[in-house]
Amino acid sequence: MHTIAEINLLLDDLDELPADDLEDQELDFKEWNNRSRKDAVNLVVEMAICMANGGGGTVVFGVKDNVVGRKKAIIGVPDEIDLNRLKKAVYDSTDPKLTPGFEELRVPEGAGRIIVMFVYPGLPPYTDTSGRGKIRIGKDCQPLTGTLRRRIMIETGETDYTATKLSGSAESHISAAAMEHLRDFARKEQAPEDLLELSDIDLLSTLGLIAGNRLTLAGLLLAGKKSSIKTFLSGYGWTHLRMKSDTQYSDRMDGQEALLVALERITDRIMADNPITTVEQGLFHFEYRSYPEVALREALMNAFCHSDYQIAAPLIIKQFPDKIEISNAGGFIGGISPDNILHHMPVARNPLLVEAMTRLRLINRSNLGIPRMFTAMLIEGKEPPLISDHGDSVSLIFMAGEMSVLFRMFVAEEGKKGRILSLDHLLIIQYLLGHSEIDTTIAARICQRRKSEIREILSRMESNFGYLERCGTGRGTYWMLHQELYRKIGTAHISVWNRRIERETAKTRILSILKQRAKHGESGLSNAEIRKITRASRDQVKRFMAELRDEGSVNTSGKGAGTVWVYARKENGRK
């Protein structure tokens, strides 16, 4: 949840971005309705319900979300709007009752203050007293439909499909082969030996997978016979396709075994087209595959654990010549999205199954699986996984790519120095291998961090490790990879370093053109004209022209759309 101090800092960003770009799952900006107090209060109630159903969050009232510029965006909330009355209105109009916190923040714009509402996590679903409600999903408040109400019940643990008990005795459904796989996998992960030495029935009972001598669906998934799985989970299964194109495949295999047996069979299928390659570089010998085994295992485990088994759809693995796509039924729940998955608290769709696998050390509850996938790809100089939510399913794509030996050497050398590169470090450095610069907005997006966090990370990468160089000042601050790091990475990325040289050349060229235009009494250059001349992006032009202005070399002339850059004449060291 965002604090008042963080909101205050975010308001400064309104000079460069609309408030809508600052919003996320836990933050929304709303304009106050000065024409109808009733409608304004109703919006407060609606947003309190929406945020509470979405896991809590912060709503800032008095800010337009679609304009750029603090003065234009901050309209404010009139002083006569009493915070206690708003709190009472929310309490009286919600079921179950909500009691959000309200604070005012004084600002120089508009009515002179904005109101910040803090909605704390509770036990949804929440509605108004007429039974209507919305839920926060990403940056939107969506109607609380029956499907979403069921999703909330799953998230709050009120319902767990995998806890359903099967008819017949537990012994009649248990597969000896599946139990052997379960123990083998768990031993590799160093699960407690006294747990694994128990009999099959005692082991599954201790894990909560047997209740009253009846096996649960979670137990069936982990230790069930294929015949029982077909009977009680007919929609469960997996399909592996070797794809020739987006619409054609050369080979297919389907399975419906217990989860860990399926995991082994799928992994063997993938590894047949994922051989080990050894690369020698000096004292370093690197063994790599197109797809790191640890990343594949985490992805498959994640897909099996978070599938919606009430949807009759198999886990689908499509293996293309240059990528692998893994898809499972069931969209994200609990406020998780592709934009916050790296650091969001884990939410289990199938709590009993997840708890049993956690005790067996097959997975963890510390949200390490997704970061492990990203790290395994990034340390080899490859693209991070691409994760997409399609509403009723989730897909994850690994791109094959070539390992960057020089980058892998750099990671290994840093490790020998006791510097273990974090996921944030890897994401930022890999981004800068393909881009000449990065600012806090971009870094916060790719690392899924708040700007206050990412500023500290970027500063440490500059001052503590020497990976980055800081450029620009104030809001125009950005970072580039240090030249020494480019030297270590090698010529494979020298074109990125050359962009830095090209940037200085572009500044010199623009200054020369402006000087000549001033000499002949001609008009200056607009930003659009400068972009055409330099082939630089809008942000790059904005930055290096700001640098020229700070150096006293250029000024602006005109207003609005007619604004142009002109040469600033200097005489005896003065303008």
DSSP states of 333-374 = -TT--TTTTTTSPP--SSHHHHHHHHHTTSS-SSS-HHHHHH
Task: Name the residue with higher pLDDT: 541 or 155.
Answer: 541
pLDDT score recorded for residue 89 = 96
The stretch 489-497 carries a mean pLDDT of 50
pLDDT score recorded for residue 156 = 64
Would you place residue 575 in the very low, low, confident or very high pLDDT band (cuts 50, 70, 90)?
very low
525 & 483 share domain: no
- Domain annotation covers residue 162: no
387 & 460 share domain: no
243 & 390 share domain: yes
498 & 480 share domain: no
304 & 385 share domain: yes
Say which CATH number the domain at 246 has.
3.30.565.60
| Mean model confidence pLDDT for the chain | 89
pLDDT tens sequence across 216-241: 999 999 999 999 999 999 889 999 99
125 & 29 share domain: yes
Among 575, 537, 531, 525, residue whose Cα is nearest residue 553: 575
pLDDT score recorded for residue 501 = 54
- Domain annotation covers residue 102: yes
Say which CATH number the domain at 562 has.
1.10.10.10
428 & 321 share domain: no
- Domain annotation covers residue 202: no
pLDDT tens sequence across 261-277: 999 999 999 999 887 77
Question: What's the CA gap between 460 and 466, in Å, rounded?
Answer: 8
pLDDT score recorded for residue 532 = 80
253 & 389 share domain: yes
The stretch 280-294 carries a mean pLDDT of 80
Give the end of a domain, one of 489, 510, 537.
Answer: 489
Radius of gyration of the chain (CA): 29
- Domain annotation covers residue 443: yes
Q: How many domains does the chain have?
A: 4
pLDDT tens sequence across 431-457: 888 887 888 888 999 999 988 899 999
Q: What letter represents residue 544's amino acid? A: F
Q: What letter represents residue 249's amino acid? A: Y
pLDDT score recorded for residue 73 = 95
Task: Name the residue with higher pLDDT: 371 or 488.
Answer: 371
DSSP SS3 for 142? strand
- Domain annotation covers residue 35: yes
Question: Looking at the predicted structure, is the pLDDT value of residue 81 above 60?
Answer: yes
381 & 498 share domain: no
Question: Looking at the predicted structure, is the pLDDT value of residue 492 above 70?
Answer: no
Among 295, 304, 307, 536, residue whose Cα is nearest residue 399: 295
- Domain annotation covers residue 168: no
Say which CATH number the domain at 49 has.
3.30.950.30
Give the end of a domain, one of 155, 174, 190.
Answer: 155
- Domain annotation covers residue 335: yes
pLDDT score recorded for residue 570 = 55
122 & 15 share domain: yes
Domain that holds residue 449: 422-489
pLDDT tens sequence across 42-62: 999 999 999 999 889 999 999
Q: State the CB neighbour count (10 A cutoff) for residue 92.
A: 11
481 & 558 share domain: no
- Among left, alpha and beta (phi > 0; psi -120 to 50; other), residue 520 is alpha
Give the end of a domain, one of 489, 516, 544.
Answer: 489
Could you give the C-alpha distances from 178 to 206, 221, 231, 318, in angstroms and in order?
A: 17, 9, 17, 25
pLDDT tens sequence across 319-351: 999 999 999 999 888 778 899 999 988 888 899
Question: What's the CA gap between 347 and 61, in Å, rounded?
Answer: 30
What end-to-end distance do the CA atoms of the chain give, in Å?
A: 49
251 & 292 share domain: yes
Span of 78-82, 207-211, 495-499 with lowest mean pLDDT = 495-499
DSSP SS3 for 57? strand
The stretch 80-98 carries a mean pLDDT of 95
pLDDT score recorded for residue 485 = 87
- Domain annotation covers residue 321: yes
